[in-house]
Structure 1
């Protein structure tokens, strides 16, 4: 799905053939992403490692608990965006997580991708609520969430184990205004 705000940005479901471009992207952005991610095994940065992650993600997608997507700018893979931990029943919720290559930062790509993913999550998956969290120091991601209508709802101490340490996270949510339960 292309973003109406940034027509060069597309969000689509992850595919097997994304393994090689993803391996290139995570390798090229290894240092840039390191402060915001868990410590990665060396295999993560290989085509085989990405292929295994894609296989796992597509199984979870088939099971309805993950919406795994890639972010493309004019056809070039520049990041990932997922709705993780999809829960149905009384909750009807999921958690958004994303990253964009350093070379495409500051151009509205993440904002367009989150906007597109919200449309998919709300319109196609009929989710009521999307949650997000950022490390306290990740001001850029907090701006993306604010621009896309997320509201800050709290602070979670020692929330995620990132880059070898427990980190505090700011919690956000966006409620689907058109939810039809």
Structure 2
């Protein structure tokens, strides 16, 4: 399955066969993503490291607990988006996370990808989506707002980013009334 998001960029489910392309994308964007992500071991930036990571992720996907997509420009990965930590039952909730390559910023790709995942989550029957951003990540906050997410509060020392516990602004989108 592949949906066109904008121009030549499409979104496809990630598979273990995408490991080399994903490693190239992370390597190209390593310095750019550094202040926004956890610290990564050098193996993360290799095809083998990505193969291991993707193989582990596929187990959660097979169980319906996590879903992962990549944004492709031709054969090259230019971003990723995920729907993780899915809980069914009384909660019906999931978390959205994403990144877009530095040289593909400003094209509406993150907004389109989040919209894609909102539609996917709605079809799954989820009631609510959550997302968190670093408090100073105005660009990501705009992406979420464009997709109908509302700010719900501050989570102090929420995630270890770039080696230190960072505060995050939390957002939610209710999918069903």
TM norm structure 1: 0.92
> Deviation of residue 2 (structure 1)?
2.4
1:44-72 deviation digits (Å, cap 9, x = unpaired): 00000000111011011012210111122
- Matching residue of 1:153: 152
- Tell me whether 155-164 or 72-81 shows the greater mean CA deviation: 72-81
Q: How does 1:40-79 map to 2 (within 5 A)?
A: 40-73=40-73, 76-79=76-79
Does structure 1 retain, via aligned residues, the 8 Å contact 2:21–2:75?
A: no
How many corresponding residue pairs? 176
Q: Structure 2: how far apart are the matches of 1:105 and 1:167?
A: 23
Q: Structure 1: how far apart are the matches of 2:93 and 2:4?
A: 22
Equivalent residue of 1:64, what SS? coil
Does structure 2 retain, via aligned residues, the 8 Å contact 1:11–1:117?
A: no
Does structure 1 retain, via aligned residues, the 8 Å contact 2:158–2:167?
A: yes
> Deviation of residue 137 (structure 1)?
1.2
Indicate the RMSD between aligned Cα atoms, in angstroms. Answer: 1.5
> Deviation of residue 13 (structure 1)?
1.3
Equivalent residue of 2:38, what SS? coil
Q: Structure 2: how far apart are the matches of 1:133 and 1:148?
A: 14
Q: How does 1:34-45 map to 2 (within 5 A)?
A: 34-45=34-45
Q: How does 1:1-181 map to 2 (within 5 A)?
A: 1-2=2-3, 6=6, 8-73=8-73, 76-123=76-123, 125-177=124-176
Structure 2, unmatched stretches of 5+, are none
Structure 1, unmatched stretches of 5+, are none
Q: Structure 1: how far apart are the matches of 2:9 and 2:117?
A: 11
Does structure 2 retain, via aligned residues, the 8 Å contact 1:158–1:168?
A: yes
TM norm structure 2: 0.94
> Deviation of residue 74 (structure 1)?
5.2
Does structure 2 retain, via aligned residues, the 8 Å contact 1:81–1:113?
A: yes
